[in-house]
Amino acid sequence: MVKKVSEVLILVGIVSILGLLGAEGAEVGVTDSTIKVGGVMLITGPIARYGTAAADGIAIYCKYINEMGGINGRKIDLIMEDDGYDPVRALAAAKKLIDRDRVFAFITTSGTPQTHQIVPLLGKENIPSLSGIIPQMPVADPPRTAFTFGMRYGHQMILATDYIMKDLKAKSPKMAILYQDDEYGKEVKWGALLACKHYGLQMVAEETYKRGAVDFSSQVLNLKRANPDYVYLATVIRETPIVLKEATKLGWAPVFIGNSSYCDESTIELSSRDAPEVLKKMIQVHYLSRFFEENPEMSQLKAGFKKIRPDIDTNKLLHYHILGWVNGLIFCEGVKRAGKDLTREGLIKGWESMSNFNTGGLAGIISFGPNKHFADTSGRIFKADLDKNIWVPITDWRKPSFE
Amino acid sequence: MINGNFKTNYEDEIKIFQTTFVKFWLVILFVGLIIFPLVADRYFIYLCNLCGIAIIGALGLNILTGYTGQISLGHAGFLAIGGYTSAILSTKLGIPFWLAMPLSGIMAAMAGMIVAIPSLRLKGLYIAITTFAFGFIVDHLIIHWESMTNGPSGITAPRPSLGVFVFDSDKSYYFIIIVMVILATGFARNLFRSRVGRALIAIRDRDIAAEIIGINLTKYKIQAFSISSFYAGIAGSLMAHYFDVITFENFTLMLSIQYLAMIIVGGVGSILGSIYGAIFITLLPELIRLLTDLFRQEYPSLTTRFADLKSVTFGLIIIIFLIFGPKGLYGVWRDIKVYWKNWPFTY
């Protein structure tokens, strides 16, 4: 008798569990009127200035889309979590978003160490994610749910070398590199070495520094001693002006080659007074439009910013604001293409169908594909305009001559 | 009626579980710990696992800093050695987790002994700087010894398995961590009932006096370092197998400082204090996260605008504890207990 009762109980249990599963029906995080979207971002921590800007850009785009009536009748409910540039806290944020908030997809997965932790988990749970803060996927073997856009730092270095060799027609210049001792520095160095090998150039000096360093006198002195014509600079926001000033102090003015991780007006503000000569010669690579450029999407962006966050001066937008907006744009395009019957699988298919997607001039052409989850865009070369304190593009959008 | 915990002989004094009351609550706690993962969601279990790992690490640091008086700013370095040893042993040599974990503890303990050697001649601030430098050496090694550590890209350690069962969920890993926390706490509690533990306390209180009463400073300081780093190594190993990938970013100077904050906030030189501190510091940012979440609907930009609150709160709490509660959470808890025990009579 006892056995019978327990059998019945087990049966009832199984049936009720199945019932619960069945009740879910529609995709997690999607209702008829809303889509719950999660994001993890470095809003505090060492590069909070950029993280906050990107988070703002994404949030403003989502709000803008909501005010325009949403996507296929659904409004975006965005939940952005801070990780403080800590991979462990990023994972906590991701788990909270998945289990407590039950989000449909991830709009961003924060910086390199955080993406390292989050993306494999999202792969296991089959939750689609987009990432644009770092212009490459740091995970060696990313799951099929992970999408990334941007221009690899390595490719940016190749593009810069192309410019030096083809446009400036330099005669076997001597190259050198100063890089941060981490994943980012390694990536820049990879591209720089590849470009040197391709053009048969000599790398006369390689210097490194630890993240957070504030003194570069020995590195710059060593670089000067090797006397290169061009120096690839894999530094970040604070270090760049210090290096430029240090070179000026030593009376040395090579051409520094910058990349998108710090191609920001603050570099000019911080070094135009103490290192004008070096700054004028410097070239930068970037894959996004700048706030002063005129194009249809940019005016939409500015209108959106003015309406939703009037406290942000649209004449002082960081490129991370624009990056955030582009991130939102690509995310929402995928959702739109997934159609009225929105599923996670549909979103992945939606992104995969985005070949030659035009961002309206905010960035180069974005191309995903069924086996291509990293959309490598094109970039441009910039030079500093010290009177207006801005970086001005001096070339068209182009792709590196080889990869 | 006995209204107090009076001891009439030495054995009573050093008992681990002093009263039936304590035993009763420990049983309740134990049952609670078993039930918790069955009812909580994955986010809470993850936080609980983080707390567990932090408790083991904080216990280790408290043995060295709280009980022996040697300030360490290189605790993250020992965690890194433990984590990387475990990850390398299990990926490159295929050694199972159950063997790799103790080995990583031993590896970290050996590193701890090496760091201990200069500490025999250095005191106070100088030993802090030595351990600080040690953290950087480990960091540098991880980044540049690419053939072993995979450089900045990090290393992926497999989840532990027992026969066909793989501990791949937060829930199953929870039980490994809980067992380790119980073992670690039990060992630490016992350590300070023994000659070794008392010798360490004597060194902290006055090293010259300790030497006079026959304590071999060299031996015990090295022991303190090796035990402390062994704990850190175990915590590191648990981290390595828990996260999908570990990189040098998991073991920054900030982590060492967080561990120091744990023992300061929890209570320097107290086992229970290490536990309170570890839980408090780990959960604090998440608590603020959940608080801002409550107001998300009304003020959507709260996360962005008040995220900095976390860093401010973190600093503020340490300052407040240093000024108003130098004995830490454990001290506060004891004061409250004593107050209510004697209430309404102050003395």
The interface pTM score, or ipTM, of the predicted complex is 0.82
| CB-CB contact of A99 with A57 (8 Å) | no
Pair (A116, A179) in one structural domain: no
A327 and A352 co-located in one domain: yes
Q: What are the tokens at B78?
A: 């020992």
Tally of domains in chain A: 2
CA distance to partner chain B, nearest, from residue A172 (Å): 31
Q: Does residue A28 lie within any of the structural domains?
A: no
Q: What is the pLDDT of residue B2?
A: 54
Q: Give A314's pLDDT tier (boundaries 50, 70, 90).
A: confident
A399 domain-assigned = no
Same domain, A163 and A278: yes
Element (H, E) at A94: helix A87-99
Under an 8 A CB cutoff, do A186 and B151 touch? yes
Kindly state whether residues A236 and A175 are assigned to the same domain: yes
Note whether residue A18 is domain-resident. Answer: no
Given a cut of 90, is residue B151 above it in pLDDT?
Answer: no
For residue B319, pLDDT over 50 is answered with: yes
Distance CA A123, CA A121 (A): 5
Q: Would you say residue A113 lies in a domain?
A: yes
Burial of B19 (0-12, 13-18, 19+ CB in 10 A): exposed
Buried b (16+ CB within 10 A) or exposed e, A269-298: ebbbeebeebbeebbbbbbbbbbeeeeebb
| A188 and A267 belong to one structural domain | yes
Looking at the fold, whether A160 and A129 belong to one and the same domain comes out as no
Instruction: Tell me if A14 is assigned to some domain.
Output: no
- Whether residue A241 is contained in a domain is answered as yes
pLDDT at residue B11, as a whole number: 78
Give per-residue pLDDT as tens, A151-171: 999 999 999 999 999 999 999
- A54 and A177 assigned to the same domain: no
Inter-chain CB proximity B250 and A113 less than 8 Å = yes
Statement to judge: residues A140 and A157 lie in one domain: no
Residue B284: pLDDT band with limits 50, 70, 90: confident
Question: Taking Cα atoms as reference points, which of B220, B197, B234, B176 lies closest to residue B60?
Answer: B234
* Tokens representing residue A133 in the block: 């803060």
Which residue of chain B has the CA closest to A41?
B304
**For chain A, how far is it from start to end, CA to CA, in angstroms?**
73
As a whole number, mean pLDDT of residues A227-256 equals 93
Q: Are residues A83 and A40 in the same domain?
A: yes
Name which of A79, A81, A116 is nearest B154 (Cβ-Cβ).
A116
Say yes or no: A146 contacts chain B, CB-CB below 8 A.
no
Residue A17: which pLDDT band, with cuts at 50, 70 and 90?
A: very low
Neighbours of B303 (CB within 10 A): 24
Q: For residue A136, what are the domain limits?
A: 34-150+292-372
Angle (deg, nearest 10), helices B217-242 and B170-191:
170
- Give A48's contacts in chain B (Cβ within 8 Å): 307-308
Tell me whether residue A1 is in a domain: no
**Which H helix or E strand runs over A292?**
none
Q: In this predicted model, which residue has the larger pLDDT, A92 or A238?
A: A92
| A173-208 tens-digit pLDDT | 999 999 998 888 989 999 999 999 999 999 999 999
Residue A5 lies in a domain: no
% chain B with pLDDT above 90: 61
What is the pLDDT, as a whole number, of residue B333?
86
CATH number where A71 lies? 3.40.50.2300
One domain, residues A93 and A195: no
Tell me which amino acid residue A347 is.
L
Nearest to A43 among B151, B153, B303 (CB): B303
Whether A261 and A328 map to the same domain: the answer is: no
Residues on chain B bordering chain A, Cβ-to-Cβ distance under 8 angstroms: 41-43, 46-47, 50, 136, 139-140, 143, 151-154, 170, 243-245, 247-250, 254, 285-286, 289, 296, 300-301, 303-304, 307-308, 310-311
CA distance A87 to chain B (A): 7
A178 and A253, same domain (yes or no):
yes
- Best of B249, B253, B287 to disrupt the A interface (most A CBs within 10 Å) is B249
